[in-house]
A and B are shown apart, each in its own frame.
Chain A
Amino acid sequence: MSSILKSNLHRIKMRILLLLNITFVSLMMNGYCQGENFQVHGFAAQGIIDVNGSNYVNDDGALSIELTEIGLNASYSLTQTLRLAGQVVYLDGGNRYNDGVRIDYALLDWSAYSNENWQVNFYLGRYKNYHWLYSSTRDIPFTRPSIILPQSVYFDGFRDISVGADGGAMKISHSSDSLGNFDFNISTGSSPISSEQTKIVMSDFALGEMKHSYDLQASLYWQPFLSSWRFGLAILDSEFAYVAVEQGDMFLDADITLQRVIANMLYEGENWEFSGEILQERFVLEDFYFDNFHVDNIGQGIYVQSRYKVNTDLTLLARYERYYANKDDKNGHELEASAGGSVPRYFGYQHDATLGLSYDLADNLRLQFEYHYIEGAARLTPVILPNPQVNDNESWQLWAMHLMYWF
């Protein structure tokens, strides 16, 4: 008990220190370091979150302050075509992902070609996932429509793997006065996977190491000339390997393949905004439980959301999302049968209805609130060996409030 108290006190102390630091840096930098060649920006957000009926944030269901996002970034232009950029973030989301400080991105940006209508850039180093609607800024609170993003596409259990990678990316932008704006992104690299992340995906019993061996992603966005609409298409092909420890591991070496196709659209009007993404993903797991074990599932997800700007400060949000882990077993009966009844059928899907609001207290200060009603547990962790003892409800709810500042 006292160790839990100690670790909570340590967390609160760390948060206060980081918040003080960010305020200090913000005061120091503002007006001094927003120049032509060197810019510093940052953000700090703290919230409270309460989940009833699942272990999404914590195991005991208590009100939690594990909703912290702090970041600091800098961009420095070495020459007209070369730029260095990096961002450090501290995140705490409870069970959602690993908490701690991490390098969000650290890259060299080479502007290889640029004229009035074309831009070609290469990014080398640790880059972000630039492919989905919110993937490149999923940890930046004031750029998200909601505190919790739709889990079909932005599954927190895969956050550390899908947030970006170490390798190279290329972006080609074309702006045409007749056809509109086109953005093409392609990236290849791999993410380091921590043992905590391995446990989030596989289960607490996985003692081995998970490796990200291959990742190729591409996306194309098109905004017709002068249009309020934008359309996007993204693909992902990735492979992972699980290397079991020789003694004591419940599992065998395994190969995992994850492939995704995502289409999205966005409408931005003066007061109304509509957006949505539709996802199909193929998940292949080989060996793991025993030699020649083979799972090959196709999951499907969709969300649609609308935001209404009541005035310049207040925005309302409504969203509906459906996700099926296996499109051929939408009600999860086969899943339950194949696990001999130990995994309830509601682990086969997860649907979420969300209502929210955000209020700008000042130019760079926002308060956000939201409520989710969720049915199903397919996007709770661990994924491969679910935990029905803790997640023993088909329906569960969460609400959260988040205060965010940025500069």
Chain B
Amino acid sequence: MNAVDVIVHLSVSEDNVTTSQLRRIYTMRQIQWPDGQPIIVFVLPKQHPLHQRFSKERLQIFPYQLERIWNKLTYSGLGVAPIIVSTPEALIDAVIKTPGAIGYTETIVGKGVVNVINIEK
């Protein structure tokens, strides 16, 4: 089984993120990149096996915890939750097309289309 890679739009200059930074981004506690560009977060539906793997392996958070945080933001007016796309291919496509985007994949994506960033422990 391939590892889950974190991918970002080519406009994002970061090469590395720490696990805690990635967790801040996906729990919507960090909403812009260090250069000020807004972060656009993409995810798959909560029951998708790739989403479950990403959540546990990369973020070290249970998927239900993420869902609760996002539901609170969406349904109380407090903030904006990630954008849900239906397939892994659509997720890669969204990251390619959206400046500031972040997403994840388990298939190898051609160089020069998106940036794959290293996760530091």
Give the complex CA separation of A117 and B85 in angstroms.
28
A136-B80 contact in complex given A36-B98, A268-B65, C-beta closer than 8 Å? no
Q: In the complex the two chains form, is B29's CB within 8 Å of A175's CB?
A: yes
Q: Is A195 an interface residue (CB 8 A)?
A: no
Q: How large is the interface on B (under 10, 10 to 19, 20 to 34, 35 or more residues)?
A: 20 to 34
B74 with A114: CB separation less than 8 A: no
Q: Are the CB atoms of B24 and A107 closer together than 8 Å?
A: no
Contact A116 B75 (CB under 8 A): no
Question: With the chains together, A374 CA to B17 CA distance in Å?
Answer: 51
* A128 on the B face (CB < 8 A): yes
Q: Cβ of B60: which chain A residues have Cβ within 8 Å of it?
A: 226
| Beta-carbon contact of B74 and A142 below 8 Å | no
Within 8 A of B (CB), among A202-245: 225-226
Name the distance in Å between A110's Cβ and chain B's nearest Cβ: 12
Are B76 and A128 within 8 A (Cβ)? Answer: yes
* B75 pairs with A43, CB closer than 8 A: yes
Q: How far is the CA of A83 from the CA of B76 in the complex (A)?
A: 14
A363-B47 in contact given A34-B84, A87-B77 (Cβ < 8 Å): yes
User: A35-B83, A177-B20 given as contacts; is B76 within 8 A of A116 (CB)?
Assistant: no
Q: What CA separation (Å) do A114 and B32 show in the bound complex?
A: 8
Closest residue of chain A to B81 (Cβ to Cβ) is A39
> Do residues A34 and B75 form an inter-chain contact, with CB atoms below 8 A?
no
Using a Cβ–Cβ cut-off of 8 Å, how many residues does chain A contribute to the interface with B?
46
CB of A71 closer than 8 Å to a CB of B: yes
B30 within 8 A of A: yes
CB–CB B24/A83 < 8 A: no
Which among A36, A80, A87, A107 has the highest number of chain B CB atoms within 10 Å? A36
By a CB distance below 8 angstroms, the chain A residues around B47 are 312, 363
Determine if B79 and A41 form an interchain contact, defined as CB atoms under 8 angstroms apart. Answer: no
Cβ contacts under 8 Å, B32 to chain A: 80, 114-115
Which of chain A's residues 54-113 have a Cβ closer than 8 Å to chain B?
71, 73, 75, 77, 80, 83, 85-87, 105, 107, 109, 111
Interchain CA distance A173-B78 in the complex, whole Å:
12
Nearest neighbor of B34 in chain A, beta-carbon distance: A116
A109/B79 in contact, CB under 8 A:
yes
Asked whether any CB of chain B lies closer than 8 Å to the CB of A11, the reply is no
Q: Residue of B at shortest CB range from A174? A: B29
**Do B72 and A136 touch across chains, with their CB atoms under 8 A apart?**
yes
Q: How far is the CA of A181 from the CA of B116 in the complex (A)?
A: 27
Assess the B72–A143 pair: CB atoms within 8 A: yes
How far, in whole Å, are A181 and B30 apart by their CA atoms in the complex? 12
Do A142 and B29 touch (CB < 8 A)? Answer: no
Q: By the criterion CB–CB under 8 Å, are B75 and A87 in contact?
A: yes
Known contacts being A36-B83, A363-B45, is A80 close to B38, with CB within 8 Å? yes
Tell me which of B31, B38, B74 contacts A41 (CB under 8 A).
B74
Using A43-B75, A86-B77 as known contacts, list a sample of 9 further A-B pairs with CB atoms less than 8 Å apart, ordered by residue number in A: A75-B77, A87-B75, A117-B24, A136-B78, A142-B71, A175-B29, A175-B30, A181-B29, A312-B47
- Interface of A toward B, CB cutoff 8 Å: 34-36, 39, 41, 43, 71, 73, 75, 77, 80, 83, 85-87, 105, 107, 109, 111, 114-117, 119, 121, 123, 127-128, 130, 136-137, 140, 142-143, 171, 173, 175, 177, 181, 225-226, 268, 270, 309, 312, 363
Interface CB pairs A-B, < 8 A, 14: A35-B83, A73-B75, A77-B80, A114-B31, A116-B34, A117-B24, A123-B78, A136-B76, A137-B72, A137-B75, A143-B72, A226-B20, A226-B60, A268-B62
